[in-house]
Structure 1
Amino acid sequence: MKMPSFFSSLKVIFCTLLFFQFSVHADHHAKSSASLFQKGDRVAFVGGGLIERARLNGYLETTLTMVAGAQGSGLKFRNLGWSGDTVYNDARSSFGKPQEGRDRLGRIIAEWKPNVVFLNYGAEVALSEGLPWTDESAVKKQSAGKWEESMKVFLEGYQKLVDALRKNAGDNLREIVVVVPPPLENLGDPLPNHKSTNIRMGKVRDALAGFAKKNEAHFVDLFAQMGGDKFEGKITTNPLTNDGLHFTDSGYQKLARHFSHGLGYPVEDLEFSDSLSQNLRKSIIEKNRLFFHRWRPANETYLFLFRKHEQGNNAKEIPQFDPIIEKQEAVIEDLRNQLFKKEAIN
């Protein structure tokens, strides 16, 4: 029997190793680019004004609903954004300390049990150089200190927020996505040019990249994708915001595309011009309106707090939003199915 030569054996070993290396790389690529969403996922958006205002035009949620594909059926989203919020959840407090805001967020997360959570924080630090950006008594003074000290406070608060989310969501929570805020725009005098703010935002981004890796979270760099690293302070010719900070509806449409692209979804063929897509977006906006009144009723002082002795009997009506929201979500799912059926035919 003829024995294989040394070089023949070496060739076999080399090919085997090459195949193994390719297989490992392919598997890693598949995992990194695999769909973030799974059938029936509950998804929560948590952050400040950028997130809260997204519910009003629906572009972000509609885009994610569409790019999730036909296999991502039954997705349900909850916008838990709160304008002015920080990683210590200051803005969510009604009359008390930030702990009250953390408790509020903890309750809704424990109730909703999301599978995927998008987190968007960091602008509070970049916009507040030398000023306290949280009322959390233990760290308020440090938040107004030198940059390194303020960032330390921010990252410590962010870590506590992530830990609390995981605790309250329990085993349901599968994915956390850390989303870097987009760059601010210069719209000319009398508004600030935001050059120094964007430099600080870039530093926040760099810190969040390591933070996301540490927490085994996905990372979406809206700052880089939307031109933050190239910002030189020039006046923006085609603004996406009303004032350099707050996005217009068309601005949100573009932001949503960058958001989805950052998650690895293709957005080249994404359009909102047809009637089905428009009806889907309108239905999502209506669902968001209903849910907003469910979890943030305008008269909660009378319903749940220190004046509940006057109208607290009406608190029983708040859970009655739930079946209405479920009905609206059925409409959304039907429109979504029609949309993908139409694409499959075409």
Structure 2
Amino acid sequence: MGRCSVGYVLLQSITLLAMGSLATAKDSPPKLELQDGDRVVFLGGTFIEREGQFGYLETALTTAWPDRKVTFRNLGWSGDTVWAESRGIFDPPQVGYQRMIELITLLKPTLVVMGYGQNESFAGEAGVGKFVAQYEKLCNDVQATGARLAFMTPHKWERPKSPLPDASRQNGTLAIYAAAVRDLAARRSAPVIDLFELPKPTANLTENGLHFGPFGYSQLVTAIQIQQGWPRLSPSDEKGELIRQKVVEKNMQFFHRWRPQNITYLTGFRKHEQGNNAVEIAQFDPIVARIEGEISELNSK
């Protein structure tokens, strides 16, 4: 082959590589990054609610940009779907859905991070269309607040120890729903935390094949930090753990604020009995604000 031919082939190769790099960059979803002053709302099912109990993801986001003032509100509800099927309490899901949108609006978020698809996947491949249609509606209703959106795909399920059934058999269907979430994020040019494509751990991270405990969340969030390219504290830095403990305390107080144990009597169909006590709900607000101040102080050191 002559020198010119070699040069032409080499030029072609470089061009193809460059085109491939550009395509990859174009196809890659934007990374999730917080802005100064962000008011973040987490919305979703069991994965989101349990994150509020352990606080690893919120701590990772808090410490990634210590110079930015950010607040978080966790509105996760175990077993929930994009139809708000867990939130109706004694009312139909549509009423719970409306209450959810009203609460989100009241919180005035600038960013809503949504994690759905896990429970919806039980409808199988035939249910994907309905799932996406309702997710689009939820996105539109949330964006009416002016908030940006970010998404989380469903995560893989694991094969737990006997005698629990093999939850990993659902992963084929979960993959379809994860792809649907990626497509939804792409249509809205929104960041997506791809839990489904995180590296497979060497040991099980879930307690029962489906749900993560503290260890599972800690390992999972480390993988998310790498995937998203977030700045990270040193593993030996105790500051992150101190902040996480405060995050958990704050989330517990906010949980009592928006989901009081006797909600049926305070704001539900039996409020005619004890509804006068609903004025006490707002007393959690200064407690939450105080703990957020302590988190901010720790984070700035």
Q: Distance in 1 between matches of 2:79 and 2:100?
A: 14
Equivalent position of 2:127 in the other structure: 150
Please list every run of 5 or more consecutive structure 1 residues that lacks an aligned counterpart in the other structure: 1-20, 130-146, 228-235, 339-346
**How has the CA–CA distance of structure 1 residues 270 and 98 changed in structure 2, closer, same or farther, with 3 Å as cutoff?**
farther
Q: Secondary structure, in 3 states, of the residue corresponding to 1:225?
A: coil
Letter matched to residue 262 of structure 2: N
**Match for 1:319 among 273, 282, 286?**
282
TM-score, normalising length from structure 2?
0.86
Say whether the 8 Å CA contact 2:43–2:75 is kept in structure 1.
yes
Residue number among 57, 61, 64 corresponding to 1:60 in the alignment? 57
1:70 CA displacement: 3.0
In structure 2, the partner of 1:97 is 92
- The amino acid across from 2:93 in the alignment is P
| One-letter identity of the residue aligned with 1:333 | S
The higher radius of gyration belongs to 1
- Report if aligned partners of 1:182, 1:226 keep a CA contact under 8 Å in 2: no
SS in 2 for 1:43: strand
- 2:119 aligned counterpart, secondary structure: helix
CA spacing shift, 1:157–1:256, aligned 2, 3 Å: same
Counterpart CA distance in 2 for 1:162 and 1:98 is: 17
Q: Which residue of 1 aligns with 2:12?
A: none
Structure 1 match to 2:5: none
Aligned to 1:209: 182
Alignment match, 1:116: 111
Which region of structure 1 is more displaced relative to structure 2, 150-159 or 32-41?
32-41
**How many residues are aligned here?**
280
Q: Which amino acid aligns with 1:119?
A: M
8 A Cα contact 1:78 1:288, kept in partner: yes
Match of 1:192 in 2: 165
**Take 2:183 and 2:84, find their aligned partners in 1: how far apart are those partners?**
22
User: What do residues 87-140 of structure 1 show as CA deviations (whole Å, max 9, x unaligned)?
Assistant: 1011011112111111121111111111111111111133x24xxxxxxxxxxx
Change in Cα spacing, 1:182 to 1:262, as seen in structure 2 (3 Å) is same
Q: Cα distance 1:70–1:188, how it changes in 2: closer, same or farther (>3 A)?
A: closer
The gaps in structure 2 that reach 5 residues or longer are: 1-17
Does 2:268 match 1:277?
no
TM-score normalised by L of structure 1: 0.75
Corresponding position: 1:107 with 2:102: yes
- Superposed displacement of residue 307, structure 1: 1.7
Q: CA deviation at 1:192?
A: 2.2
Residues 154 and 177, structure 2, Cα contact 8 Å, conserved in 1 = no
1:265 aligns with 2:230: yes
CA RMSD of aligned residues (A): 2.4
Cα 1:112–1:225 shift into 2, 3 Å: same
Shift of 1:256: 1.5
Per-residue CA deviations over 1:260-290 (Å, capped at 9, x if unaligned) read: 33333244x542x543222211111110011
Report SS of the residue matched to 2:94: helix
